[in-house]
Amino acid sequence: MSSISSAIGATKAPPMSASRRLRSIFGGSIGNLVEWYDWYIFSAFSLYFAQAFFPDGDQTTQLLNTAAVFAVGFVMRPLGGWLLGTFADRRGRKAALLLSVFMMSLGSLIIGLTPGYQTIGVAAPVLLVVARLLQGLSIGGEYGTSATYLSEMAPTATRGFWSSIQYVTLVAGQLIALALLMVLQQLVLTPAQLHAWGWRIPFLVGALLAIVAVLIRRSMEETASFKKAAHVKSPLRALLRHPREVFTVIGLTMGGTLAFYTYTTYMQKYLVNSAGMSKMDATSISTAALFVYALLQPVFGALSDRIGRRPLLIGFGLLGTLLTYPILSTLAAVHDWWQAFGLVMLALVVVSGYTSINAVVKAELFPAEIRAIGVGLPYALTLSVFGGTAEFLALWFKKIGHEDYFYWYVTACIACSLLVYVGMLDTRRHSRIVED
């Protein structure tokens, strides 16, 4: 089997069987799903718990407060990318993935059990921030380590396809969060019950799911690339000797992550707060669009295995630059369910050119001894600046009466990333994983 021959080079160990490889990919993916579910329930249920953690005010102000806390979680992501990335490069991908899922579940447990502002006052938002910082540390390390693990574990010829599973599980985590919200909204609880206490259910469920994720991840194999890598004492210092790769990660991430968070986590609020749609319609539109979007990731990933990574990135950059303003400005005036779904879906198809392959592109840029920190740290730094502030900036521009400034901001960031895509090498043909 040629799937790992180029990745293990001169090692004499027998190749990993296909069944063991698939079990490991499955284990990494399921744990990733649980982590992203825990991360996204904050955004999905913020329409209901915003009033519990902050003083009375209008809806936009309360959402602005929760968006600020959402952004605060991103502050810890670079630290998580550094600490857990270093841990993964020195102690193993598997150990780092187990640690990250534990921290994420602890954050969800804190949010689910914290009393509201009316009960404990300012301690409520303080505990909310603490929990979100812990989750930010976790997810900052999870992304880089998970991207590295899946890319190293995947067969060379189909690396784009298998690594795209990361965004399938990432989106699936958000999808499950939205699906649970729909069930609670329409079948189980009244709106009053959801606002009063029902929003706590998904956080407690997320904490329990971590037990399952830990059990599954314990059976994962360590990657051949890590086993044969010449481990360095200071991965961060070694990373600084690859400035071109670091700045490539920053440039290719900037527009993609901003577009992703705009059309996924923020879109539900945008449909309610700007387009004037009901919470139920906004939730169902987001859920349906994300379901189709998740199915698109392996399709685009497999396409990159045939034509290369760079054409897909350029396609996203070009279409994203041209279509962002028309899509967002039209959505603000749409009230029909199908029209809104079609516009959101169009945006997500465009974004798929980035999301389906961004993990493997980053992993293919770095040698094994610094791959986890190389993927995770510059990505997390860029994400904190652009993805983590997307909701806050969008709501702030709306509050000052210039919501269209946000449309131009997203467009400009995608255009900057397009310049990087045009100038970079195609990592499918110039992969550092192949050279390990």
User: Tens place of pLDDT for every residue, the chain, 436 residues?
Assistant: 343 333 334 344 456 666 777 778 877 787 788 888 887 888 778 777 777 777 665 566 666 667 677 667 777 888 988 999 999 998 888 889 888 888 888 888 888 898 877 788 778 878 888 888 888 888 888 888 888 888 888 888 889 999 898 889 888 888 888 788 888 888 888 888 888 888 899 999 988 888 788 888 887 888 888 888 777 888 889 999 999 999 999 999 999 999 998 998 788 888 988 888 888 888 889 889 989 999 999 999 999 999 999 999 999 999 999 999 999 999 988 889 999 999 999 999 999 999 999 999 999 999 988 999 999 999 989 988 888 788 889 888 988 888 889 999 999 999 999 999 999 999 998 888 864 4
- For 273, half-sphere exposure in the C-beta direction (CA atoms, 13 angstrom radius) is 22
Q: Are 332 and 403 in contact (CB under 8 A)?
A: yes
In a domain, residue 281? The reply is yes
Farthest CA pair distance, the chain: 66
**53, two tokens:** 């953690």
Neighbour count for residue 411 (Cβ, 10 Å): 21
The pTM assigned to this predicted structure is: 0.81
Backbone dihedral angles phi then psi of residue 230, each to the nearest 5 degrees: -85, 90
For residues 435 and 137, give the distance between their C-alpha atoms in angstroms, rounded to a whole number: 31
In a domain, residue 92? The reply is yes
In a domain, residue 328? The reply is yes
Burial 193-218 (b: 16+ CB within 10 A, else e): ebbeebbbbbbebbbebbeebbebbe
Q: 365, 400, 355: which is closest to 174 by C-alpha?
A: 355
In a domain, residue 4? The reply is no
For residues 131 and 234, give the distance between their C-alpha atoms in angstroms, rounded to a whole number: 29
- Owning domain of residue 161: 17-219+242-435
In a domain, residue 360? The reply is yes
For residues 173 and 69, give the distance between their C-alpha atoms in angstroms, rounded to a whole number: 20
- What are the residues whose beta carbons fall under 8 Å from the beta carbon of 158, sequence distance 6 or more? 3, 302, 305
What is the 8-class DSSP label of residue 231?
-
In a domain, residue 12? The reply is no
**137, two tokens:** 């540390």
In a domain, residue 225? The reply is no
Count the domains in the chain.
1
Q: What is the CATH number of the domain that holds 184?
A: 1.20.1250.20
Q: Are 296 and 348 in contact (CB under 8 A)?
A: yes
For residues 383 and 389, give the distance between their C-alpha atoms in angstroms, rounded to a whole number: 9
In a domain, residue 326? The reply is yes
